[in-house]
Structure 1
Amino acid sequence: MSINLSQQTFRSHQLMQIANEATRFLESTPKHTLPLGSTFNGAGVYALYYSGGHQSYKSLGGNPIYVGKAVPTGARTGAITNREEPKLKNRLAEHVRSIQQASNLEIKDFKCHFMIIPIEMSAIIPVVESTLINRYQPIWNTKIDGFGNHDPGSGRYEQARSEWDRLHPGRKWADKLKG
């Protein structure tokens, strides 16, 4: 029996309408300097912007250098908790530490847009992140891989350094990578 793929394919324009609405909202939020001064709870999506003089980033043209997300606890397993946590704030703080450890970047050259997405709508977070990446093609998402990486932990230091860590040396955990 032949499979009719048109009978198996789901399509909805509503999802992209919501993602585009969320993208417009993010773009309308205030741009903040890093590190963020306030503590707040919530998960969501963010875009980082660079205005420094590093030669590799002369052609950004006001577009984000990186787009990322912070999801609620349990999102990866489908067991989202209903407690509010500072997921977005903490993720941005991790990025601040990475930038500050890089020997050839200055945190003063970075700003961010961010938006909090309520827990009951958190399933949209990856879709909004993907929409922003597709729209802006941020260089740290598409060409220079590794900025969002975490310390792989002991026993996993045989892997190679990311391209980002080769271009921006200084993260202490990345210096342990031997591959």
Structure 2
Amino acid sequence: MARGPDRIAMDDLQKALAAIRESLGHNPSPAIIRRVRAGLADHAAALEEMRAATDPIGMPRATFDPADPKAIGRMVSIALLAQEMVSLREVKRAYGSGVYAIYYRGDHPLYAAISKTETPIYVGKADPAKDDASDAREQGPKLTDRLIEHAGTIATAEGYSNQLPQGLAPIGLADFTCRRLVCATNAQLVAEKHLISTFWPVWNSETKACWGMSKHGDSAGTRKNKRSPWDVVHPGRPWALDARLQDSLSPQEIAARIDKVLTDYPPRKDHAALLEEMLAGFRQDGAPKDAEVSPVGEEASGPDPEEVGGEDDE
């Protein structure tokens, strides 16, 4: 008895899955594993759509669950965007941990595309002083302390402006603003992840363009190889000026990566349109997906654990 077309197609699908499993071998690289997992996730979604198409009863693509981490990330991100934008240099200490976004308003050539837009140059989180903190006082002044620390870092680079090598442009603290949101303990974790995959801010390490602003100082003698891209184009921190350090990326490579990010993810210029975009993530039919890989590419080099200053503290 001849097999039907559906059985033949299903057998082919089983063979394809077996071929994928065999292609992994015994010790696949992390990059191959990520690529296969991403591809399988896409096909799993397509399979579920096919399965739903054979059911005479309609099925929503998603069920809203306010306890779902992705839903929490979106809700907290929207709440952050509802906050007033204030000058970074005017942030005063206050209780609370949470998430924040830093924006650029100046004329630095690297950031011309995002200047005065709704796309942040950096987003981050501040974890509470106590893991089980139930209110802002128990969380401690972590959020404002982090922003004040970043303001000091930028001010240090500004103070080095009259010593910049040829071809580099200065930054000034007066050109930076921020939004901040005190939120429930642990909500900052998923919110930061959602904000990064929404904007791909060029100073975040995950974006792989100009990371390093949030590194902390240590001796170049304890870190044996490279200077972060942020310290390459915004020098001034004494521990990153050591002549023994090599640049992790050249200024030209940094500029190219920033251009790539801002080309693939054009800056958002309208606040209302941005909020509508964020709300679209809650739509049960046709909700957009968060991107998981930086626009510069999965294979592009990123932060090195041995960079002077240690790992970015985000």
Same fold (TM over 0.5): yes
Aligned CA RMSD, in angstroms, stands at: 2.3
| Secondary structure in structure 1 of the residue aligned to 2:147 | helix
Which structure shows the higher strand fraction? 1
2:76 counterpart of 1:22: yes
2:196 equivalent in structure 1: 133
Name the counterpart of 1:64.
120
Q: What is the aligned partner in structure 1 of residue 233 from structure 2?
A: 167
1:151 counterpart residue number: 217
Kept in 2, the 8 Å contact 1:51–1:110? The answer is yes
Task: Tell me which residue corresponds to 1:9.
Answer: none
Q: Which has the larger radius of gyration?
A: 2
Task: Classify 1:161/1:177 alpha carbon distance in 2 versus 1 (closer, same or farther; 3 Å).
Answer: farther
Give 1:35's aligned amino acid.
Answer: R
Which residue does 2:98 correspond to in 1?
44
Residue identity (%): 34
Contact 2:101 2:178 in 1 (8 A): yes
What's the CA shift string for 1:127-153, capped at 9, x where partnerless? 100100100110111111101111135
Q: Which residue does the alignment assign to 1:94? A: 149
**Larger helix proportion of the pair:** 2
Pairwise CA distance, 1:156: 2.0
20-29 vs 157-166, which moves further = 157-166
- Residues 37 and 112 of structure 1: CA distance in aligned 2, closer, same or farther (over 3 Å): closer
Q: Distance in 1 between matches of 2:110 and 2:91?
A: 29
Is residue 158–residue 177 contact of structure 1 (8 Å, CA) maintained in 2?
no
Partner of 2:269: none
Measure how far apart 1:124 and its partner are.
Answer: 1.9
Distance 1:128 1:39, change over 3 A: same
1:64 positional shift: 0.1
Distance, in Å, in 2 between the alignment partners of 1:65 and 1:28 is 18
Whether contact under 8 Å (2:203, 2:213) holds in the other structure is: yes
Give the structure-1-normalised TM-score: 0.81
Specify which of 176, 187, 210 is matched with residue 110 of structure 1. Answer: 176
Within 2, Cα distance between the matches of 1:31 and 1:69? 17
Q: Which runs of 5+ in 2 are unaligned?
A: 1-43, 45-63, 162-169, 246-314
Normalising by the residue count of structure 2, what TM-score does the alignment of the two structures yield?
A: 0.48
- For residue 114 of structure 1, give the secondary structure of its aligned residue in structure 2: strand
| Whole-Å separation in 1 of the counterparts to 2:174 and 2:76 | 27
Give, as a single letter, the amino acid of the residue that structure 2 aligns with 1:96.
Answer: A
From 124, 129, 143, the equivalent of 1:73 is 129
Partner AA of 2:72 in structure 1: I
Pairs aligned (count): 163
Q: Secondary structure at the match of 2:180?
A: strand
Letter in 1 for 2:213: F
Whole-angstrom CA distance in 1 between matches of 2:199 and 2:104 = 14
1:3 is matched with which residue? Answer: none
Counterpart CA distance in 1 for 2:94 and 2:120 is 23
Instruction: Describe the SS at the equivalent of 1:139.
Output: coil
| Unmatched runs of 5 consecutive residues or more in structure 1 | 1-5, 7-11
If asked which structure has higher relative contact order (CA below 8 Å, sep 6+), I would say 1
Asked if 2 retains the 8 angstrom alpha-carbon contact of 1:46 and 1:112, the reply is: yes
User: In 2, distance between residues paired with 1:65 and 1:165?
Assistant: 15
Verify the 8 A CA contact 1:43 1:87 in the aligned structure 2: yes
Supply the AA of the counterpart residue of 2:172: E
